[in-house]
Structure 1
Amino acid sequence: MLLLGSCFIAVVNETVMGVATAPLMREMSISAAQAQWLTTAYMLTMSVIIPMSGFLIRRLSTRTLFAAAMSVFTVGTLIAALAPGFSILLVGRVVQAAGTAVLSPLVMTTIATVAPPGQRGRLMGYVSVVFASAPAFGPVLSGLVLQWLNWRWLFVIMLPIAVLALVVGVWLMPSVGVRRRVRIDALSIVLAGFAFGGIVYGLSAVGSLAVGAPTLSPWIPLAVGGAGIVSFVWRQLVLQREDRALLDLRVFLRPTFARSMIVFVASSVSLFGVLFLLPLYAQNVLGFGPLVTGIIVLPGSIVSAALAPVVGRLVDARGGKWVLVAGTAITALSLWSMLLFGEHTHIAQLFATNLLMNIGLAGVFTPIYAMALGSLPASLASHGSATLNTAQQLAAAAGTALLVTLMTLFSVRHGGVQLAESPAAMVAGLRVAFLTSSLIATAGVIIALFVRETPVQRTAGAKPV
């Protein structure tokens, strides 16, 4: 429960920035392309750090790893709270992400290792409650704070909670798992940084072509990222022969894991960029304040959190495939309906669309985690968890960068540089972004039809250390 509570804090911290983006753009005189880095850099950092979690989970005790992760998160929160401007705030977000990156894989691996197959879906449902309810709390908290205080208080409020979680965790956290002496490959970390960072930065930089010459051609980081991915994969294939891979790619030899991963990536790319754009649409086009914007997402997130344990039990009882198909289909339908958004959309339509999207989400991530991790032997569980979480963060960062870039490009094409942030121009850009998201989500539905469940019975349980 302590791990779940800490994950809740971390996810709340990740989601508070969505509602804060528009006020930050005004206060710091930055564009949407710049502001999105507060979210994108967070997810990008997680995508680079998470591959290390497999090594860390095998090398350190649960208590030690938890204490280290929460300490880093707390330091990052302090930096963000004291930040004098955008650059230092961005540094604080990156440090926060470095701590958060370890928490989710730690939870997933602990459940996958300790829980018997018949209970795994139910426990993953509890995890989904955290990931569904935290996004409901985060935007509302952000809206309440920004209604009367400035953005800095978003981090000031988080500080004592993070410190309390750290102290209680060090005191009460039990240690599970078997520690092994394993070495980490520094070259793999460097290659991951170039690969993931190059792709995401390149996608973001494409948008700057619309408003002027970028400081660096976007094709350069995209090429570096592509070369980095090829090099990273090659390095892991070499290292896994000695059981030293940062991410053991043998997880992809399991068809259930591989196909679930594709659906996972498609869902993350299509959804996370939309979750960044919706608050901008609500505030900059429809003129809602931060509090109303936060409340708009509340009903959907509450419903998603309430459905998560139900979905978990359904996955345990009936299997996850058709739950996944239904979840991806409902989510895709909600994204297609966003093409109807305009300059005068009624708030009820926003509520309904967000509610539909969250109902679909409840049926996406729980069966994916249960089926993907359930198809792996215990020896690959930590690598499977790290791979899923890395893919989610990288896909989310790339999806956000891609959709913001498309919005920027087509907003400028519609209204020119001077009128790119006018409501009409933003709607034109947003519709292209929503269309792209809908097409990707629809591809995920099709792939979900071909996912097969192949659970593995684990013969070795966890041992206390």
Structure 2
Amino acid sequence: MSDPSAPASGGRTPTVIRVLVLATFVVILNETIMINAIPRLMKDLEVTEQAAQWVSTAFMLTMAAVIPTTGWFLQRVSTRQAYTAAMGVFLAGTALSAVAPSFAVLLIGRIIQAGGTAVMMPLLMTTLMTVVHEHDRGRVMGNVTLAISVAPAMGPVISGLVLQIASWRWLFVLVLPIAGIITWLGLRQLKNVGEPTTGSIDVLSVALAATGFGGLVFGLSKFQPDNLAGPALIVGAGVALIATFVFRQLHLQRTGTPLLDLRVVLAGTYTKGLVLMSVAFMAMLGSMILLPLYLQNLRGLSPLATGLLVMPGGLAMGLLGPTVGRLFDKFGGRLLVIPGSIGIAVALAGFTQISMTMPYWQLIALHVVLMVSLAAAFTPVFTLALGALPHQLYSHGSSMLGTLQQVAAAFGTALVVTVMSARSTQLVKDGANAVSAHLDGMRLAFGVSAALALVVIVCAVLLPNRAASPEEVEELTDAPELVKG
């Protein structure tokens, strides 16, 4: 019988990856599935809009707090144990949310859901890099794009459809059997990949990671033009705790077992990919916030109509993922990442021209260009970045990538909402009417996102066409600390 941990080649996606992609898609979908349900929650559970927003904020906070620990966790348990724990926790949270008698119980259910979700993404990426041959990684990573990028985009679409005909509880009731079947299939099909290692967990590192990254995301989520001091204080405290966490990891790399091995940033390709992915994620999440606000608040569309309008972009991104992967395997990364990064900037610049009369087909076209460009960038960058690491650091590289995605999402959301609100508030004070002021604020926010996309272009130009050779990669494991770059 063949070793499941041996890299596979030959054009066929390993069963373990197919199962993990399915499971990851379902759990990540839940990060954004509650966005359209806020008004229903306010009415049914008698809570304010600020309180109801916590069903999404708490999910994101938990992800940011838990993901930094997954690098250590995935090295200590088998593939089946990690999968069982992640899906078991997710199913428990989903079931609790479906029957929640109060908002507090719903919030607890969402936090439990997020705890399971946080493990799935690093588990998928780590397993893929272990079992898939280097020459096939682009093709297989293209399929993974469906889970990591399309799922968040499809959450509002699916919830809009469900909420048209049913209660918000059905958002969980429908997910529960699907997740249950996928869990059962996974336990039947999954084989363990690699061997778990032993090592104690540093409790102080866990506390610093949870409070530091969780605090940073929480502070960013609270920014408002009329409330900057409080959130800035929380963000500052979060950054200070993260800095302490970093020094703790550097110490543990010399004397023990780090929770998050920071030697991953010694790989220049990985670090450039990390920056590119973080900024691109900020741009994507910023547009996901701004477009629904524009379509619903200014153009008067329903949540369902809004979801249907952005659905072509999400579908195009998912369908193109495998093609992008095959092109990467054949030609390398630069042919895809550089045009993709330029496309991101062009699409966001196009959104700065929104008006009350812009045809919907133009909005759809811009959104499709944005999502296709993100697909062209994401698949090669994921593959190049993780391919630049030795196999011992795959789980830590996946963990850091997932953590910074959550931070980037929170930062991108805070940035565009603050810029938009500050601009529109100032214009109203100067005598402009509310609609034109709001529109101008959105244009400026899209402009800021387009400016950020220029960083993506610079990182794309600096990335190599192929990952480093195994010999170069293995040199990283000999680096005891971060003292040279």
TM-score (norm 1): 0.90
| Residues 1:165 and 2:182 aligned together | yes
1:82: which partner in 2? 99
1:43: which partner in 2? 60
- 1:291 Cα deviation after fit: 1.7
2: CA distance between counterparts of 1:336 and 1:22?
32
Of residues 289, 296, 299 in structure 2, which corresponds to 1:286?
299
2:391: which partner in 1? 378
Kindly provide the CA deviation profile for residues 362-392 of structure 1, in whole angstroms up to 9, marking residues without a partner as x. 1111111110011111111111111111111
Structure 2: which amino acid aligns with 1:438?
A
- 1:86 Cα deviation after fit: 4.8
- 1:25 Cα deviation after fit: 6.6
Of residues 348, 351, 356 in structure 1, which corresponds to 2:361?
348
Conserved? CA contact 1:73–1:96, under 8 Å: yes
- 1:108 Cα deviation after fit: 0.5
- 1:402 Cα deviation after fit: 2.7
Of residues 436, 445, 457 in structure 1, which corresponds to 2:457?
445
Conserved? CA contact 1:19–1:293, under 8 Å: no
- 1:176 Cα deviation after fit: 1.3
1: CA distance between counterparts of 2:37 and 2:445?
21
1:456: which partner in 2? 469
The 1:359/1:34 distance shift into structure 2, 3 A limit, reads farther
1: CA distance between counterparts of 2:53 and 2:311?
22
2: CA distance between counterparts of 1:197 and 1:297?
30
1:463: which partner in 2? none
Of residues 129, 144, 160 in structure 2, which corresponds to 1:127?
144
1: CA distance between counterparts of 2:52 and 2:421?
13
TM-score (norm 2): 0.86
1:203: which partner in 2? 220
| Residues 1:435 and 2:447 aligned together | yes
- 1:26 Cα deviation after fit: 7.5
Conserved? CA contact 2:64–2:217, under 8 Å: no
Of residues 301, 310, 316 in structure 1, which corresponds to 2:329?
316
> Unaligned regions of 5+ residues in structure 1, if any?
461-465
2: CA distance between counterparts of 1:290 and 1:150?
15
94-103 or 392-401, larger mean C-alpha shift = 392-401
- 1:84 Cα deviation after fit: 4.7
355-364 or 72-81, larger mean C-alpha shift = 72-81
- 1:132 Cα deviation after fit: 4.4
1:368: which partner in 2? 381
Report the number of matched residues. 452
2:413: which partner in 1? 400
The 1:310/1:345 distance shift into structure 2, 3 A limit, reads same
- 1:146 Cα deviation after fit: 1.4
- 1:102 Cα deviation after fit: 0.5
| Residues 1:299 and 2:324 aligned together | no
SS at match of 2:356: coil
Q: Which residues in structure 2 correspond to 1:64-75 (within 5 Å)?
A: 64-75=81-92
RMSD (Å) for aligned C-alpha atoms:
2.6
Conserved? CA contact 1:54–1:247, under 8 Å: yes
Q: Which residues in structure 2 correspond to 1:86-97 (within 5 Å)?
A: 86-97=103-114
Of residues 139, 145, 148 in structure 1, which corresponds to 2:165?
148
2: CA distance between counterparts of 1:30 and 1:282?
23
Structure 2: which amino acid aligns with 1:322?
L
| Residues 1:218 and 2:235 aligned together | no
| Residues 1:232 and 2:249 aligned together | no
Conserved? CA contact 1:22–1:284, under 8 Å: no
Conserved? CA contact 1:40–1:401, under 8 Å: no
| Residues 1:100 and 2:113 aligned together | no
Q: Which residues in structure 2 correspond to 1:19-30 (within 5 Å)?
A: 19-21=36-38, 30=48
SS at match of 2:195: coil
> Unaligned regions of 5+ residues in structure 2, if any?
1-17, 475-485
- 1:68 Cα deviation after fit: 0.8
Conserved? CA contact 2:36–2:160, under 8 Å: yes
1: CA distance between counterparts of 2:413 and 2:58?
10
Structure 1: which amino acid aligns with 2:247?
W
- 1:290 Cα deviation after fit: 2.0
Structure 2: which amino acid aligns with 1:224?
A
